[in-house]
Amino acid sequence: MKKVLITGASRGIGAKCAELFALNGYDVWINYLSSEKAAEALYTSLIDKNCSAHVIKADVSDSYQVNKLLEKTGGTDILVNNAGISQTKLFTDISDTDWDKMISTNLSSAFYCCRAALPFMIRNHWGRIINISSMWGQVGGSCEVHYSAAKAGLIGLTKALAMEEGLSGITVNCIAPGVIMTDMNSHLCENDIKALKDDTPTGTLGTPEDIARAALFLADEKSSFITGQVLGVNGGFVV
């Protein structure tokens, strides 16, 4: 049974990834930081469905905690770097604290987790790293410069690490979601949602399951010839 560690897995995209991987026979480790009740509820629901699941707390923006996290899991076959935050601010209003928190949560966390997970994958000559970026990391989002920069950095990390780890049997890919209806976008009003739907060729917004299905595909043995890629799951919003 392949082991998968999903960061930020208590809610939204991460939770749906945990559910879908678990239902497809993976040994799932649910990482969370502050949403303990949600993480425990997810864990309980998966155990009730006779899935293999574990829940583990760690701040993945802290390299020390990440190292301890991978020690406790005993390594992982598949790493889904999903933990992230968002913030809407004019560029001139972004403080040093805003910038540092955005980069550490959305980019440094993935670096720390990859670094800690790779020795186990290299020993096994097999691994899957799946980074959850954003379409704004591809094209940039107004009033989200620090978010866009962090997500663009994640794309760069993906491409470079894929080049480095290919001969070790490890693939590294990136998913760039479009507008996905999660808590992160719960602040949007009806007019905003309608405008976003109108701007999306499919006329719909995405769901966490859309992203989870893409992650499951990239983790599969049949996807072994796919690496260093950015898979846009955005309804055609960015092409």
Q: Report the range of poorest mean pLDDT among 1-5, 154-158, 202-206.
A: 202-206
3-state secondary structure the chain: CCEEEECCCCCHHHHHHHHHHHHCCCEEEEEECCCHHHHHHHHHHHHHCCCEEEEEECCCCCHHHHHHHHHHHCCCCEEEECCCCCCCCCHHHCCHHHHHHHHHHHHHHHHHHHHHHHHHHHHHCCEEEEEECCCHHHHCCCCCHHHHHHHHHHHHHHHHHHHHHHHHCEEEEEEEECCECCHHHCCCCHHHHHHHHHHCCCCCCECHHHHHHHHHHHHCHHHCCCCCCEEEECCCCCC
Using left for φ > 0, alpha for ψ between -120 and 50, and beta otherwise, residue 190 falls in: alpha
Average pLDDT over residues 193-200: 88
Two structure tokens written together for 90? 């004019």
Q: How confident is the model at residue 181 (pLDDT cuts 50, 70, 90)?
A: confident
Q: Which domains does the chain have, with CATH numbers?
A: 3-232 (3.40.50.720)
Two structure tokens written together for 30? 């649910």
Active site members: 147
Q: What is the pLDDT of residues 62-112, one digit of tens each?
A: 999 999 999 999 999 999 999 999 999 999 999 999 999 999 999 999 999
What is this structure's pTM?
Answer: 0.96
Q: Percent of the chain beyond pLDDT 90?
A: 92
Q: What is the pLDDT of residues 199-233, one digit of tens each?
A: 899 999 999 999 999 999 999 999 999 999 999 99
